[in-house]
């Protein structure tokens, strides 16, 4: 998607020319240069859209298995609800804020271009890519859906559903969409987002290291700290109720991630092949490394460890998928597994925060590692100045972290003071499936 961001100003250039054409000759020239659909690219992007959407139910399974049985449905509800809420938000204002014309000095896209910029039609084609604009709209929608769902892993088992819904709507609009604009955006006739264009050598984020994982992971940590620990944590055992669900969910995430990364070049070409390959390599290496570390550190490898390691590997390779070679993917998978393992198994226990399902420990930490290592290992396309590229990655990471922290703090206080966020102790003890939704996951 980095290439799309840097070429977005060309998207409807042909359409603008024809709209202002005053002579038959100009109209004929514009029509002759009108972009055409490429069936192969379009087919791949449609498949990628479906794969990325599948990741959200996969996340629901992954998270759902990690909580206690009395909270399985409420936890899965967070992910599933995002599929409805964020879709509507994306159509009304989200896409325009993310990819509309620059306003407020390029801080975000024009929210006044609501309902998908207002003038896009199913016949519009992205020049240089050969795919319908609406396919790109749908592809980006799937990213917007899963990102706030990732945050839910930090506050599982103790949040009011109404508070979650309002926070998710506000966070998607005021955090995800602006960051998306900074990294990938830019209006129809303007340059790309300012982080992708003006920070050092231009920050690289192929499929969402900063946009998706750092923003959600850092916000998850802030939310977990503000919300406080679950009742009885860490003294009371809070074991996953179904690692079968979690393992299956991890497999679905791995499968869907091929669309997440493989489709982010917006074409079915050699870059898609590279992204597809290194995505698998990094995930596999992350899973293997985590299992080995766990075997050494705790005496036994676990399925939960393998599932966590593979997701960490997927997160890490996301910003780099179209920029690095397979040997770099091996190193990245090993490094992120080690760093995330320390974050999840050591740092969290020492600091005492309750990141219930390790949204920060995997996505925040893994996304940060991946974004920085993208600058270290970037070779595809030939970085002219490796030092400048690394600094650009660090700069974009720092900006994303600072904005996510500040914005999440403000939104948390706002939502907590209005509709409330923490359930009562009685409701928490009874379980959120019953107290928040009036149903149970296992009614025998």
Q: What is the mean pLDDT of residues 119-141?
A: 89
- Number of structural domains in the chain: 1
More confident residue, 118 or 407: 407
259 part of a folded domain: yes
333 part of a folded domain: yes
Using one digit for the tens of pLDDT, what is the confidence trace for 314-366? 999 999 999 999 999 999 999 999 999 999 999 999 999 999 999 999 999 99
As a whole-number percent, the residues of the chain with pLDDT over 90 amount to: 77
- CA pair distance 107, 97, nearest whole angstrom: 9
More confident residue, 426 or 386: 426
Grade residue 306 by pLDDT with cuts at 50, 70 and 90.
Answer: very high
pLDDT reported for residue 311: 98
Burial class, 84, CB count within 10 angstroms (exposed 0-12 / middle 13-18 / buried 19+) = exposed
184 part of a folded domain: yes
Q: Is the pLDDT of residue 198 over 80?
A: no
pLDDT reported for residue 382: 58
- CA pair distance 344, 336, nearest whole angstrom: 12
425 part of a folded domain: yes
pLDDT reported for residue 383: 56
Report the helix count and the strand count for the chain, using DSSP H and E: 21, 4
- CA pair distance 288, 243, nearest whole angstrom: 18
- CA pair distance 143, 137, nearest whole angstrom: 10
CATH number of the domain that 420 lies in? 1.10.3430.10
- CA pair distance 49, 70, nearest whole angstrom: 33
Domain that holds residue 177: 2-432
| Total-model pTM | 0.91
Give the relative orientation of helices 177-184 and 386-418 as an angle to the nearest 10 degrees.
170
Q: Is the pLDDT of residue 48 over 80?
A: yes
Of 189-203, 342-356, 428-442, the range with the lowest mean pLDDT is: 189-203
3-state secondary structure of 126: strand
277 part of a folded domain: yes
152 part of a folded domain: yes
24 part of a folded domain: yes
443 part of a folded domain: no
CA trace torsion 194, 150, 250, 234 (10° rounding): 130
Q: What is the mean pLDDT of residues 34-59?
A: 95
């Amino acid at each position: 998607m980095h290439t799309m961001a840097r070429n977005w100003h060309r998207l409807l250039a042909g359409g603008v020319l024809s709209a202002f054409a005053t002579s038959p000759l100009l109209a004929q020239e514009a029509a002759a240069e009108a972009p055409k659909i490429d069936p192969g690219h379009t087919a791949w992007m449609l498949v990628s859209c479906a794969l990325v959407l599948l990741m959200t139910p996969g996340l629901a399974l992954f998270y759902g298995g990690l909580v206690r049985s009395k909270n399985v449905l409420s936890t899965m509800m967070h992910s599933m609800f995002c599929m409805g809420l964020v879709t509507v938000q994306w159509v009304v204002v989200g896409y325009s804020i993310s990819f509309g014309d620059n306003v407020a000095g390029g801080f975000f896209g024009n929210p006044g271009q609501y309902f998908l910029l207002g003038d896009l039609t199913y016949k519009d084609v992205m020049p240089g890519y050969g795919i319908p604009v609406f396919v790109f709209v749908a592809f980006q929608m799937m990213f917007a859906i899963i990102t706030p769902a990732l945050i839910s892993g930090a506050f599982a088992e103790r949040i009011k559903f109404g508070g979650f819904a309002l926070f998710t709507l506000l966070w998607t609009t005021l955090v995800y969409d602006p960051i998306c604009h900074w990294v990938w955006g830019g209006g129809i006739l303007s340059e790309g987002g300012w982080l992708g264009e003006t920070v050092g050598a231009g920050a690289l984020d192929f499929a969402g290291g900063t946009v998706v994982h750092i923003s959600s992971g850092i916000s998850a940590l802030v939310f977990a700290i503000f919300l406080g620990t679950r009742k009885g944590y860490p003294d009371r055992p809070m074991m996953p109720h179904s690692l079968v669900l979690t393992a299956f969910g991890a497999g679905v995430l791995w499968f869907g991630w091929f669309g997440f990364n493989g489709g982010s070049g917006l074409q079915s070409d050699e870059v898609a092949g590279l992204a597809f390959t290194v995505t698998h390599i990094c995930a596999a290496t992350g899973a293997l490394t985590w299992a080995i570390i766990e075997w050494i550190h705790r005496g036994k490898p676990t399925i939960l460890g393998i599932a966590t390691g593979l997701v960490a590997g997927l997160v890490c390779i996301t910003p780099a998928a179209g920029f690095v070679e397979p040997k770099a993917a091996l190193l990245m998978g090993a490094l992120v597994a080690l760093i995330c393992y320390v974050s999840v198994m050591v740092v969290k226990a020492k600091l005492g925060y309750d990141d219930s399902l390790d949204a920060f420990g995997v996505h925040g930490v893994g996304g940060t590692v991946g974004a920085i290592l993208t600058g270290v290992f970037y070779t595809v396309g030939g970085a002219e100045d490796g030092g400048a590229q690394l600094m650009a990655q660090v700069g974009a990471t720092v900006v994303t972290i600072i904005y996510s922290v500040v914005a999440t703090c403000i939104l948390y206080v706002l939502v907590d003071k209005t509709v409330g966020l923490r359930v009562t102790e009685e409701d928490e003890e009874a379980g959120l499936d019953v107290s928040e939704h009036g149903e149970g996951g296992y009614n025998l």
